[in-house]
Chains A and B, each alone.
Chain A
Amino acid sequence: MKTAKTLAASLVSAAILSTFTTATFAADVPAGVKLAPVQELVRGNGTEPASLDPHKTEGVPESNVIRELLEGLVNQDGDGNLVPGVAESWETKDNKTFVFHLRKDAKWSNGDALTAHDFEYSFKRAVDPKTAAPYSWYLEMTTMVNAAEIIDGKKPASELAVTALDDYTLEIKLEQALPYFVAMTSHTTLKPVHRATVEKFGDKWTLPANFVGNGAYKVSEWVVNEKIVMARNDNYWDNDSTVINKVTYLPIENQVTDMNRFLAGEIDMTYEMANEHFKRMQKEQPDSLKVTPYLCSYYYGFNNKKAPFDDVRVRKALSYAIDRDAVAKFIVGKGELPAYNFAHQKVAGLQVDTPDYATWTQKERNAKAAALLAELGYGKDKPLEFTLLYNTSENHKKIAIAVASMWKKTLGVKVNLENQEWKTFLDNRRNGNYDVTRAGWCGDYNEASTFLSLMQSNNGNNDQFYNSPAYDGFMNGAMAAVDDAVRSDNYRQAEAQLAQDMPLAPIYHYVNARLVKPTVGGYPMNNAEDKIYTKDLYIIAK
């Protein structure tokens, strides 16, 4: 591939002026591969998208569909490296002011030219309170000048520091130096929308009859809860390299159903893979099973405000006594990585120390855990008793049962399991109505702050109510750092602080396992954010 011309996302390099030349990055069919006559792809996509408007969505299924329909400034290749999208090249001197040079041949699906003004309009639309974008805070995360004030209603949206210098040059100003800003622009929220269409049709602009986009595909049919069908967009600038003509997304919530429809030959790529069936598929469909790292962490959060979990010894004891190898190997068992750190270990550029307890054997951990609880006077006659909260799901249930049984066996702790329906669960977790809760976190972009900022005391998602000035200090240090090494060191210390305070017990780091027909070529095996572009795939003749 064209790695020589790509900027590795992992190289969160300090600002050097970097320029790129136009190249094709779409489906890269190796010589000798015979393509199938019918180039159509059907994908399982979890749930029905809430919207196809990039400024109204938050979930993964939405992002998957929008990735086909709209193209941002940059894309990712199969290894997660950044490759030019609408922007041919970009430059920055101080990591605060970024200038993007847009390709001149980019068009909307109705033939209109795609210009820097479209991006300016779209970014301003994303922060405008009138749009009410749930992910508008993402622009705040980029520290784009005035974003926070606009969302708060203190300044008009027109004040956002994004400017079309001319039709093909876009300038963006940030408040803080953010070397990974370019990587952040591949996010769904920063995709462009077609102004005339949006203004003409309002909420209805995404419907097949109205839709105008700039991606490799355009919506041709949409039946809620059944399917979204997309056809090739002939006006896409790199249309010549696109091989697949039609792609269909099916909202299939049940993993077994997803698998069954794959086995019946109706789906080319499933969304996920049920744990229970993984071993069977390994035997029956070894050529179809694809496992890739996936930037999400699974953990149990302690209610740090509530006794006895306000005592670090209780938190540590419970964390130590979780046999992560057993969970990873026996319960999820798809190649998930046992976790002792919070941030996913495949996060680009992240270097953390292995915490002490990770190096002990499980026996040592159990002994240490029992000693900690004994110190506090918990024992056979006075067992620690609490409730473990999780949201209803087969996987969460099994892990909860397993961990509860580990705690019971090694520490004599009495655990009551409590499952709740999703929204009730969220409400209780957010309001601190729990002792220990199941949680998971997925990265929005491939950089450590997407995980680690979560545990800052002022973060709205810090449901563990962890409040450590030391930790906040490291995180602020990382944000303010101009030098990569300094930032990296701050992250390292932040993770060490987590291992010391144990506000949460990391359990495993995700992988993404799915069934992909062997005839699907170009499937990326190393994109940790699971950003798959159908335009990069092709169907091989049998």
Chain B
Amino acid sequence: MIKFILKRMLEAIPTLLVLITITFFMMRFAPGSPFSGERSLPPEVLANIEAKYGLDKPVLEQYFSYLGSLAQGDLGPSFKYKDYTVNELVAQALPVSAKIGSIAFIFTVLMGVSVGTLAALKQNTWMDFSIMSTAMAGVVMPSFVLAPTLVYIFAIKLQWLPAGGWNGGQLQYIILPMLGMSLLYVASFARIMRGSMIEVLSSNFIRTAKAKGLPYRHIILRHALRPALLPVVSYMGPAFVGIITGSVVIETIFGLPGFGKLFVNGALNRDYSLVLGLTILIGSFTIIFNAIVDILYAFIDPKIRY
């Protein structure tokens, strides 16, 4: 186990390096500079600004100096948010995304798995049908429709919850964005769980167990649940990263200071250092979570080896 983790950590370094390199050069090839705006700057003013941020140097030199400061944990100054460094911006957004992301993730997995299991057990009944219809609606409903609808009902008409804001993450500010964020994933988890459970329930070893006359609940919990969770666990990787990096739509609508908005604003403004910093962070999340998923596989199916 420890060996596995160490190996993964070693592999992460070249992976991230490739990712950084590709992203770095991709951004430089994109049209527009961090400092172009509606008013074009006089060349001498532009030159002053570029000199200040080191953009006047050859691209390769910029690349290596970026790697140099990265090695010391310095993600550089933000080009867009000029009063902040990327480290500070990340430190400000991380708790927000982590808090709402982890709550949404736990909610999503628990809801998705239990609802999906329920639908599978009641396959082809009205309950299965209504659960799956709701799930399908959840998959189809884009967040830019869902979120304003939630706001309209709960904030404007009923006035139960605030329409936006974060305010340090008090509960009432979390509920609506969390719902807006998780519905798609709850629905997806439910669909996957249902499909997987139905498949497992029809497999030979469950039939054998049934034939032996074991109690139904026992069969489900002890025998069916674990193998059925396998694809759900696979999907947890992408889902977790998707939720934690935040949905820019949800963050924009609810005014949350999380990663999603930072990333999109960074990209649209060509804030090279901010985008790179967040790419590294999100890349690391992906790598870590995939490693966790691989460890979970071994728990679900002890026969799995790497």
Contacts and interface: CB of A to CB of B under 8 A. Distances in A.
Is A in direct contact with B (CB under 8 Å) within the complex? yes
Among B30, B35, B84, max chain A CB count under 10 A is at: B84
A253 interface: yes
A207 interface: yes
A223 B257 CA distance: 7
Contacts of B51: 129, 132
B270 to A, nearest CB: 6
Contacts of A251: 255
B252 A423 contact: no
Interface string B14-55: 000000000000000011110111111111110011011000
Contacts, number: 151
Contact of B80 (A50, A252, A256, A460): A50
Contacts of A133: 45
Chain A CB count within 10 A is highest, among B48, B155, B261, for B48
A430 to B, nearest CB: 6
A270 to B, nearest CB: 13
A151 B44 CA distance: 7
A153 B45 CA distance: 10
B219 to A, nearest CB: 49
Nearest to B35: A134
Contact of B268 (A223, A263, A421): A421
B36 A427 contact: yes
A203 interface: yes
B166 A132 contact: no
Given A134-B49, A224-B89, A256-B148, A423 B32 contact: yes
Nearest to B31: A427
Interface in B134-193: 148, 151-152, 155-156, 159, 162-166
Contact of A207 (B36, B83, B255, B262): B83
Nearest to B144: A254
A136 B49 CA distance: 11
B257 A224 contact: yes
Interface residues of A, number: 55
A137 B33 CA distance: 19
B49 A423 contact: no
Contacts of B229: none
A192 B229 CA distance: 63
B212 interface: no
B256 interface: yes
Nearest to B152: A260
A483 interface: no
A266 B162 contact: yes
A261 B163 contact: yes
Interface in B71-85: 77, 80-84
Interface in A221-256: 223-227, 250-254, 256
Interface of A is mostly: loop
Interface string A405-425: 000000000000000011110
A327 to B, nearest CB: 21
Interface residues of B, number: 52
Q: Classify the secondary structure of B's interface with A.
A: loop
A22 interface: no
B111 to A, nearest CB: 27
Contacts of B67: none
A204 B36 contact: no
Interface string A246-282: 0000111110110011011110000000000000000
Contact of B92 (A59, A224, A441): A224
Nearest to B52: A132
A58 interface: yes
A204 B40 contact: no
A203 B52 CA distance: 12
Given A51-B81, A204-B83, A423-B268, A225 B151 contact: no
Contacts of A426: 32, 36-38, 40
A461 interface: yes
Contact of B39 (A47, A58, A421): A58
Contact of B165 (A151, A256, A266): A266
A274 to B, nearest CB: 12
A128 to B, nearest CB: 9
B102 interface: no
A134 B32 CA distance: 16
B53 to A, nearest CB: 8
Contacts of B279: none
A77 interface: no
Nearest to A226: B257
Interface string A304-320: 00000000000000000
Contact of B255 (A53, A256, A257, A424): A257
Contacts of B93: 224-225
A376 B155 CA distance: 59
B83 A440 contact: no
A9 B33 CA distance: 36
A94 interface: no
A344 interface: no
A59 B40 CA distance: 13
Interface string B55-77: 00000000000000000000001
Contacts of B251: 225
Contact of A264 (B52, B89, B151, B257): B151
Contacts of A266: 162-165
Interface in A376-409: none
A140 to B, nearest CB: 8
Nearest to A257: B253
A257 B84 contact: no
A153 B39 CA distance: 21
A437 interface: no
B114 interface: no
Interface string B257-291: 11001100100111000000000000000000000
Interface string A20-58: 000000000000000000000000000110111100101
Interface in A129-154: 129-130, 132-134, 136-137, 140, 151-153
A428 interface: yes
A154 B162 CA distance: 55
Given A48-B81, A134-B35, A421-B268, A223 B44 contact: no
Contact of B83 (A134, A203, A260): A203
8 contacts: A133-B45, A134-B45, A136-B45, A225-B93, A260-B152, A261-B163, A265-B159, A424-B32
Interface of A: 47-48, 50-53, 56, 58-59, 129-130, 132-134, 136-137, 140, 151-153, 203-204, 206-207, 223-227, 250-254, 256-257, 260-261, 263-266, 421-424, 426-428, 430, 440-441, 460-461, 463
The 10 closest A-B pairs by CB, nearest first: A423-B32, A264-B163, A226-B257, A427-B31, A225-B257, A51-B82, A129-B48, A132-B52, A132-B49, A264-B155
Given A130-B48, A266-B162, A421-B268, 5 more contacts: A53-B82, A56-B82, A132-B52, A224-B92, A254-B253
